[in-house]
Amino acid sequence: MTDYRTLRVALLGAGAVGSQVADLLLKHGAELADRAGATLELAGIAVRDVDAKRDADLPRELFTTDAETLIVGSDIVIELMGGIEPARTQVLHAIASGADVVTANKALLATHGSEVFEAADQVGAEVYYEAAAAGAIPIIRPLRDSLAGDRVVRIMGIVNGTTNYILDRMDNEGADFADVLAQAQALGYAEADPTADVEGYDAAQKAAILASLAFHTTVPLDAVHREGITSVDAAMIESARHAGYVIKLLAVCERLTAEDGAESISVRVYPALVDRAHPLASVHGANNAVFVQAEAAGDLMFYGAGAGGVQTASAVLGDVVSAARRHIAGGVGVGESTRANLPAVPIGHVITRYQITLEVDDKPGVLATVAGILSEGRVSIATVEQTVIEASADAADSSASAGSATGAGSARLVIGTHKAREQDLSETVERLAASGVVERVVSVLRVEGN
Ligand code: NDP
Ligand code: HSE
């Protein structure tokens, strides 16, 4: 057996992910030592409650509630507590104590990333965070290293497992939102507060991290436009299916080039319609996929488990091995560049396609009025489909002559648009709502993917 140097590893958190990390570290210690070139000694596990039941059978003596003391003297600190505090304080304490940090905490990195990375730079420490975006899928290293010689144009990703699980089950089985969310929580996919998942905060944090790497720009969380999936109902899913789409919560990070060549970026998260033939449409369950378009490389797709304890533990342990190798080989890693410093544009500047679903009066001239308002608003119609949802008195009356319907029935109009500017679109939808012929704006969804 090779006589390796021993590196002391401190684990903060033993929940869905942390308990699996500890379990794999203990089970595969010898193999990991060969890969890392160092023996990885799990020095302790800091938690809130040392007696709580864990997902894995872990030695009781490793547990402590004293994270601060555990960190001192550690070579690698794995932060899997989640949330901002005390995670932020402990991560900064670990860096100041000379440790490298491995974290899956996108909330922390998306809000205090600059502070954490600057602190690490100052002392020559490294912060590894492969698990912070898209769970088990290797996407941080590809963006930071493999694509460092290319120019990323667009990222379109399903980056939240919980919401994909919910939308997929609603689409496939007509499952109820609340029931499926409870199952996603039980399966360990959801955040401690699942609002972070269903309202798109988690996806927005990941989008900020991915866009920062892809565009070599610090992207603050408040530059990310965010909408969640709580407004998505069975009728919207059915209407999407009818039109050949599936609804996915997408993170879209885009490089925009103006006519004068000036570049900016758009980073946004919202439920969008994806053509059922697009590769992202076949991402099921809690899986994630990140579709990257780069100038030289073309289209790349990264796919796999976006959430789950043991799956995420894989990404965390990959980072632990990288950190160990750096400790053994020495040398300070080169931080990723944020020097491009591209401005992020507001959502109103975004250009995409839309599907607008309206309930309208079913009477002559309504379609022409709707078309006129869209045209005035510079929104061009690509497709339109009308379904009668409530027949007019005349039409329902079998004695009425054909073609004489002038009464107050209702119809559903599903309008697909060509590409339009978001601001034009939203102003147009406001005018439609106030037009007197539209009873209700049922939904407005962006269409992404081609
Ligand atoms: P859990 O909520 O399951 O576990 C959190 C752990 O941290 C628990 O063991 C808890 O202790 C401990 N903890 C929390 N607060 C403190 C504190 N103040 N002091 C000491 N210990 C504390 O979280 P997950 O394992 O699901 O997630 C961990 C991180 O990984 C988060 O940042 C999350 O966003 C990220 N992540 C999670 C994924 C997933 O699928 N679950 C996937 C990718 C990333 P105790 O058990 O005693 O309460
Ligand atoms: N709650 C997150 C999700 C965990 O559902 O994707 C993985 O980051």
Q: Helix or strand or coil: residue 218?
A: coil
Query: Residue with the nearest Cα to atom 15 of ligand 1?
Result: 81
Predicted local confidence at residue 334, as pLDDT: 57
Q: Ligand 1 centre from 214 Cα, in Å?
A: 27
Ligand 2: which residue has its CA nearest to atom 1? 190
Q: Model pTM greater than 0.85?
A: yes
What is the reported pLDDT for 324? 95
Expressed in angstroms and rounded, the spacing between residue 439 Cα and the centre of ligand 1 is 47
Q: What pLDDT is recorded for position 405?
A: 42
Show which residues are catalytic.
206
Atom of ligand 1 nearest to the CA of 308: 40
Q: Which residues line ligand 2 (CB under 6 A)?
A: 135, 160-162, 189-191, 197, 202, 306-307
CB burial class (10 A; 0-12, 13-18, 19+) of residue 401? exposed
For ligand 1, say whether the CB of 305 is within 6 Å of any of its atoms: no
pLDDT score, position 339: 79
Q: What are phi and psi of 159, to 5 degrees?
A: -120, 5
- From the options 3.30.1280.10, 3.40.47.10, 3.90.420.10, 3.30.70.260, give the CATH code of 350-448: 3.30.70.260
Ligand nearest to the CA of 251: 2
pLDDT of residue 400: 41
For residue 236, what are its two tokens? 């919207």
> Strand 63-64 to strand 100-103: parallel, antiparallel, or no bridges (unpaired)?
unpaired
Our separate counts of H helices and E strands in the chain read 15, 17
- Give the C-alpha separation, 288 to 283, whole Å: 7
The CA distance from 67 to 186, in Å, is 27
Q: What is the pLDDT of residue 328?
A: 87
Beta-strand relationship, 245-257 and 420-421: unpaired
Pick the CATH number of 5-134+310-329 from 1.20.59.20, 3.40.50.300, 3.40.50.720, 3.30.70.260: 3.40.50.720
Q: Please tell me the predicted confidence (pLDDT) of residue 188.
A: 87
Q: Where are the beta strands (DSSP E) in 295-350?
A: 298-305
Q: Looking up tokens 């750096």, which residue turns up?
A: 326
Task: Please give the Cα distance from 4 to 325 (Å, whole number).
Answer: 12
Residues of each domain in the chain carrying CATH 3.40.50.720: 5-134+310-329
Is residue 312 lining ligand 1, measured as CB closer than 6 Å? yes
CB proximity list for 45: less than 8 A, separation 6 or greater: 11, 12, 13, 14, 18, 22, 58, 62, 63, 64
C-beta separation of 7 from 17 below 8 A: no
Residues of the chain with CATH 3.30.70.260: 350-448
- Atom index in ligand 1 nearest the CA of residue 135 equals 43
Task: Write out residues in the chain with pLDDT < 70, as ranges.
Answer: 1, 331-336, 392-408
Fold classified for 140-306: Dihydrodipicolinate Reductase; domain 2 (3.30.360)
Enumerate the CATH 3.30.360.10 domain ranges in the chain, comma separated: 140-306
Q: How far apart are CA 301 and CA 288, in angstroms?
A: 10
